[in-house]
């Protein structure tokens, strides 16, 4: 049930107030006529009949007011059934992600934008976020509160964890968040632009753990080929750009993906990265049947018909059985 114009309900307290004001002013005082005797008049229970008639009229007015609020009822009910996908995003925030080979900004800026779009496209799935550099931390556990997750992604920045690239640690932290998940599909999307040089857990060891947990891992290597411009803050000359080589351990990233039933992707620009997330979105569809109410029917005319019937009955009774004698 839904209401198209619910503000008409405001008429109810207004009508009640007008009724009491009218009674207080004496507008309803009955006219009187003197008789020498009233013994010949039949007893009609005047007070009781007046109450019954007023009740009929009040119900009719109430039904018309409700009809004006446009109640509608859905004739077909559809339901949401099935299971979603639990997805952890593992995002590299090491210093090398400052490289500006992606437009319109550095790699991290673009990666955050694309991740936010991905989150918005999966309303029925739980998603979470892990960031890693020299170590890994959970920024957001699995949640259906996507606006909160999107806000936390937006706030991710350099310096939130010590520098380095701990790919294995980042993957293991994401897996820990999926360990208790009962979703029909569990996924990690790991994005990095380097090779593993920190952390106590080897990336391929973490991949074996993912395979044991039946978690599929998609790995994404970001960065152009050859060299990329990197902003450097020089104490003598201020910020300047230097060209640094792009080093991505693609063999390890492929190994992680292949061992877990996932896939490795390489993104050399922002358009390619957006396309990769769209492809993953298509590959990991939720097993959900999303339906809703449809074929709405307006119930207002039915209420008006009932109100008209009540008014007709009250009017007929007031002229016959419950006729008032002055």
Assess if residue 34 is contained within a domain: no
For residue 52, being part of any structural domain is answered with yes
Looking at residue 161, its pLDDT comes to 95
Contacts of 198 (CB under 8 A, 6+ apart): 133, 134, 135, 164, 165, 166, 169
The verdict on 179 and 285 lying in the same domain is: yes
Looking at the fold, whether 150 and 279 belong to one and the same domain comes out as yes
* Residue 152 located in a structural domain: yes
pLDDT of residue 321: 63
Q: What secondary structure, in 3-state letters, does 267-310 show?
A: ECCHHHHHHHHHHHHHHCCCEEECCCCEEEEECHHHHHHHHHHH
Assess whether the previous peptide bond of 104 is cis (omega < 30° from 0).
yes
The values of phi and psi at residue 196, to 5°, are -70, 120
For residue 213, is it within any domain? yes
What CATH code is carried by the domain that includes residue 182?
Answer: 3.40.50.410
Any domain includes 90? yes
For the purposes of burial, counting CB atoms within 10 Å of the CB of 242, is it exposed (0-12), middle (13-18) or buried (19 or more)?
exposed
Domain span holding position 149: 81-289
CA distance 277 to 220: 10
Give CA–CA dist 152/147, Å, rounded: 9
SS (H, E, C) 10-67: HHHHHHHHHHHHHHHHCCCCCCCCCCCCCCCCCCCCHHHHHHHHHHHHHHHHHHHHHH
What pLDDT is stored for residue 31 in this prediction?
A: 54
Q: Which residues contact 325 (CB under 8 A, 6 or more apart)?
A: 41, 44
37 lies in a domain?
no
- If asked whether residues 102 and 177 sit together in one domain, one would say yes
Judge if 157 and 253 occupy the same domain: yes
177 and 312 in a single domain? The answer is no
Residue 58 resides in a domain? yes
d(CA 314, CA 321): 10
Q: 298 and 171 in one domain?
A: no
Same domain assignment for residues 58 and 137: no
Instruction: Give 3-16 pLDDT, tens digit per residue.
Output: 777 777 777 777 77
Mark whether 177 and 271 lie in a shared domain.
Answer: yes
Domain shared by 261 and 130, yes or no: yes
Same domain, 207 and 306: no
95 found inside a domain: yes
Distance set, CA 224 to CA 15, 95, 248, 267 (Å): 72, 16, 10, 8
pLDDT, residue 201, reads 95
The Cβ of residue 92 has, within 10 Å, a number of other Cβ atoms equal to: 25
Q: What is the pLDDT of residues 275-286, one digit of tens each?
A: 999 999 999 987
Kindly state the DSSP code that residue 242 receives in the 8-state scheme.
E
Claim to verify: residue 143 and residue 227 sit in the same structural domain: yes
* 2-3 sheet: strands from edge to edge: 2-3, 71-76, 294-298
Number of compact structural domains in the chain: 2
pLDDT digits (tens), the chain, 326 positions: 677 777 777 777 777 777 677 766 655 555 555 555 555 455 544 556 667 777 877 787 888 888 787 777 765 555 545 568 999 999 999 999 999 999 888 999 999 999 999 999 999 899 999 999 999 999 999 999 999 999 999 999 999 999 999 999 999 999 999 999 988 899 999 999 999 999 999 999 999 999 999 999 999 999 998 999 998 887 777 778 889 999 999 999 999 999 999 999 999 999 999 999 999 999 998 765 545 545 667 777 887 888 788 878 877 877 776 665 55
Helix 300-319 and helix 46-68, axial crossing angle in degrees, nearest 10: 160
Q: Identify whether residues 128 and 257 lie together within a single domain.
A: yes
Measured CA to CA, the distance from residue 204 to residue 196 in angstroms comes to: 11
Both tokens of 174, joined, read 């994401």
């Amino acid at each position: 049930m839904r209401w198209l114009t619910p503000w008409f309900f405001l008429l109810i307290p207004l009508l009640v107030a007008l009724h009491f004001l009218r009674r207080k002013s004496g507008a309803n005082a009955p006219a009187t006529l003197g008789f020498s005797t009233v013994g010949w008049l039949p007893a009609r229970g005047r007070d009781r009949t007046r109450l019954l008639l007023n009740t009929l009229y009040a119900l009719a007015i109430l039904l018309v007011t409700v009809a004006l609020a446009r109640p509608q009822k859905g004739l077909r009910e559809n339901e949401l059934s099935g299971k979603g996908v639990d997805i952890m995003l593992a995002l590299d925030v090491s210093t090398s992600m400052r490289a500006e080979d992606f437009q319109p900004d550095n790699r991290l800026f673009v990666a955050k934008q694309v991740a936010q779009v991905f989150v918005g496209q999966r309303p029925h799935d739980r998603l979470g976020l892990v960031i890693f550099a020299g170590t890994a931390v959970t920024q957001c556990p699995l949640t259906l509160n996507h606006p909160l997750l999107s806000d936390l992604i937006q706030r991710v920045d350099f310096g939130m964890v010590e520098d380095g690239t701990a790919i294995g640690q980042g993957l293991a932290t994401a897996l820990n968040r999926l360990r208790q998940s009962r979703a029909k599909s569990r996924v990690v999307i790991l994005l990095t632009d380097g090779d593993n040089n920190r952390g106590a857990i080897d990336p391929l060891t973490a991949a074996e753990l993912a395979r044991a947990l039946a978690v599929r891992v998609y790995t994404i290597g970001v960065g152009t080929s050859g060299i990329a411009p990197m902003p450097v803050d020089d104490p003598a000359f201020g910020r300047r750009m230097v060209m640094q080589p792009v080093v991505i351990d693609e063999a390890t990233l492929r190994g992680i993906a292949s061992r877990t039933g996932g896939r490795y992707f390489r993104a050399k620009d922002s358009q390619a990265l957006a396309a990769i997330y769209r492809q993953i979105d298509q590959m990991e569809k939720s097993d959900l049947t999303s339906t809703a109410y449809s074929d709405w029917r307006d119930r207002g005319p039915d209420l008006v018909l009932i109100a008209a019937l009540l008014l007709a009955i009250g009017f007929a009774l007031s002229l016959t059985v419950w006729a008032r004698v002055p």
